[in-house]
Amino acid sequence: MEVKNEDPQAFTQSLEDEKVEETILLEESTKTKKSKLCPLCPPRGKCNEVITSVALLVLLWGVIWSYTGIEVYPGGSLFGMLVIFCCALLGGRLMQFIKIPIIPPLPPLLGMLLAGFLVRNIPVIRDYVKINQVWSSYLRNTALTIILVRAGLGLDPQALEKLKGVCLRLSMGPCCLEACSAAVFSHFIMKFPWRWGFLLGFVLGAVSPAVVVPAMLMLQEQGYGVKKGIPTLLIAASSFDDILAITGFNSFLSLTFTTGPVYKNIIKAVLEIVIGITAGIVMGYFIRYFPSTDQPTLAWKRAFLLLGLSIMAVIGSGRIGIHGAGGLAAIVLTFVSAIGWKDEKKARVQQIVANSWLVFQPLLFGLVGAEVSVENLESNTIGICVGTLSLSLLVRIFATFLLVSFAGFSYKERIFVALSWLPKATVQAVLGPLALEETRTKNFPQLEVYAKNVMTMAFLAILITAPNGALLIGLVGPKVLSLDKPNEAGETVSH
């Protein structure tokens, strides 16, 4: 009888394979038994996401406690910041869950603002949430810097060249006219001095890209108004509108808190503008060529240089007493540097900067909401502020309608553009508290009443115009704009 000689190595391999199969079957049967006992173990999806987020927050609290100790306990500044940040995030997320048929979604920043307001005005919570004013100021200025960098990166030279005439009118006219009308109304209704009136006017004069840009992109994706370039026009003009408002505010902030002859203050303001533009051009050309394109992690280095130099310009200019130069320098250096980059590399930098905004946005709106105290408001203050704001908005709507009357738009399209130019949010959130901080820093208690009214006006402007503006754009746009092909954008508007 012959016995076949089998390969020992093959026999051993087959035994090992059988053992692996048995182990896999045993593990699967064990998992099946566990899943029958506890079908939610381990949790997945939203449940897992919530648990992970809570664990990360607890870990963050623990790490900060390791460094600072008492500051993360109730009543400490870091504890207050953490509460504001978490409540603002929750408020923004809840606002996204509010979905009404036919009505476009409300902006998350509204929920963030209301969350900060509730934290400040709920009796039990406010006793334990204390915010260091210096830290709050630096965080808001950092948020302002990110807004300026995003505005500079968002400027499209080709679109501006195609729409230069109407874009210039739309970005400068409504802002300046609303600022002047707000100054007049606040002077006669709220008894503001003229300098404070114009300072308030430039706080109110800026439109909000955080509301306008997403709404316009949504209409553009659907093909509404693209043949005449209406979404492109509003997106481009919103950045210029903000730049003008911030520059005007900084100039009048310097004039308001600087003693001496008026002509000297005007000369100083002009010098600050020249310094800001010059410094921005120099730094912009530096970032255009450094780092070079052959370096690794190019986008991260460029984003770090953009944000670092811009923050240094904005906060550093305030430290040396030339407030008007910093914001302008940040805008100019971002625009100049981005012109020399390729589109795909510029897009990577934009994404990094946008991610940083996701952190500072809830802090900004939460802190602004926390600045408004119901107890400190006089009985007639809100009514007077709403009246002044409403009159200024009417001037803005009428001015916008007239300024786009010679751009080839129909009557309905002009109405849409005028209504789209209403929303206010980001710039008001940043600029609103700055006057109050300046009165406290330079010890002008007699001016606090004006600064608090400016702060209240900024809060009310966001609360009233942000949701209503978003709703008007979403409801009116599809009804009055023509439905075109996306590749036809900008064919008609060239005035």
Q: How far is CA 284 from its chain centroid?
A: 22
Q: Mean pLDDT over residues 398-411, rounded?
A: 85
Query: What pLDDT is stored for residue 376 in this prediction?
Result: 67
Angle formed by the axes of helices 323-339 and 133-154, nearest 10° = 30
Q: Mean pLDDT over residues 192-198, rounded?
A: 90
d(CA 119, CA 341): 44
* Cα angle value 51/54/57 (rounded, 5°): 150
d(CA 369, CA 460): 10
**DSSP annotation of 107:** P
Query: What pLDDT is stored for residue 10 in this prediction?
Result: 59
Q: Is the pLDDT of residue 155 over 90?
A: no
Domains and CATH numbers, the chain: 140-488 (1.20.1530.20)
Residue 8 pLDDT class (50, 70, 90 cuts): low
Q: Identify the weakest region by mean pLDDT among 14-18, 146-150, 203-207.
A: 14-18
- How would you class 59 by CB atoms within 10 Å of its CB: exposed for 0-12, middle for 13-18, buried for 19 or more? exposed
The position carrying tokens 């606002």 is: 95
Structure tokens at 152: 């500079």
Query: What pLDDT is stored for residue 273 in this prediction?
Result: 80
**DSSP annotation of 224:** B
Q: Is the pLDDT of residue 29 over 60?
A: no
Query: What pLDDT is stored for residue 2 in this prediction?
Result: 47
Per-residue pLDDT tens digits for 227-258: 777 887 887 787 778 778 887 887 788 778 77
Mean pLDDT score of the chain, rounded to an integer?
Answer: 79
Q: Is the pLDDT of residue 393 over 80?
A: yes
Q: Mean pLDDT over residues 99-117, rounded?
A: 77
d(CA 72, CA 66): 10
d(CA 183, CA 388): 9
Strands, E assignment, 62-145? none
Q: Identify the weakest region by mean pLDDT among 180-189, 321-330, 423-432.
A: 321-330
Per-residue pLDDT tens digits for 35-86: 444 555 667 777 777 788 788 878 877 887 887 777 777 777 788 888 888 8
| DSSP β-bridge partners for residue 483 | 224
Q: Is the pLDDT of residue 495 over 60?
A: no
d(CA 327, CA 325): 6
Residue 489 pLDDT class (50, 70, 90 cuts): very low
For 332, other C-beta atoms within 10 Å of its C-beta total 23
Of residues 464 and 221, the one with the higher pLDDT is 464
Which one-letter amino acid corresponds to residue 62?
G
Query: What pLDDT is stored for residue 266 in this prediction?
Result: 74
Query: What pLDDT is stored for residue 13 in this prediction?
Result: 60
Name every residue whose Cβ is closer than 8 Å to that of residue 78 and which is 6 or more positions away in sequence. 64, 68, 71, 72
d(CA 363, CA 86): 9
Which helix or strand (DSSP H or E) is residue 211 part of?
Answer: helix 209-222
Q: Mean pLDDT over residues 429-454, rounded?
A: 83
Closest CA to 246 of 314, 301, 196, 307: 314
d(CA 310, CA 150): 11
The position carrying tokens 């609303």 is: 178
Query: What pLDDT is stored for residue 200 in this prediction?
Result: 92
Phi-psi region of 107 (alpha: psi -120 to 50; beta: other; left: phi over 0): beta
Query: What pLDDT is stored for residue 262 in this prediction?
Result: 66
Residue 11 pLDDT class (50, 70, 90 cuts): low
Number of helices (H), then strands (E), belonging to the chain: the values are 20, 0
Q: Mean pLDDT over residues 478-495, rounded?
A: 61
H helix intervals, 322-379: 323-339, 343-371
**DSSP annotation of 104:** P
Instruction: Write the CA distances from 384 to 187, 192, 390, 414, 448, integer angstroms.
Output: 12, 12, 10, 30, 17
Query: What pLDDT is stored for residue 1 in this prediction?
Result: 45
Query: What pLDDT is stored for residue 102 in this prediction?
Result: 59
Q: Mean pLDDT over residues 110-124, rounded?
A: 84
pTM comes to 0.72
d(CA 315, CA 327): 9
The full DSSP string for 125-167 is HHTT----HHHHHHHHHHHHHHHHHHHHHH--HHHHHHTHHHH
Structure tokens at 193: 């001095």
Query: What pLDDT is stored for residue 3 in this prediction?
Result: 45
Name every residue whose Cβ is closer than 8 Å to that of residue 459 and which is 6 or more positions away in sequence. 113, 117, 368, 369, 371, 372, 428, 432
What letters, b where the CB count within 10 A reaches 16 and e where it falls short, cover 422-441?
Answer: bbbbbbbbbbbbbbbbbbee
Share of the chain above pLDDT 70, in %: 83
* Cα angle value 319/322/324 (rounded, 5°): 120
The position carrying tokens 């200024």 is: 392
Phi-psi region of 148 (alpha: psi -120 to 50; beta: other; left: phi over 0): alpha
d(CA 206, CA 244): 8
Q: Mean pLDDT over residues 154-170, rounded?
A: 71
Share of the chain above pLDDT 90, in %: 7
**DSSP annotation of 483:** B
Residue 298 pLDDT class (50, 70, 90 cuts): confident
d(CA 365, CA 427): 11
Residue 483, φ and ψ in degrees, nearest 5: -90, 110
Q: Identify the weakest region by mean pLDDT among 272-286, 317-331, 424-438.
A: 317-331
Q: Is the pLDDT of residue 494 over 50?
A: no
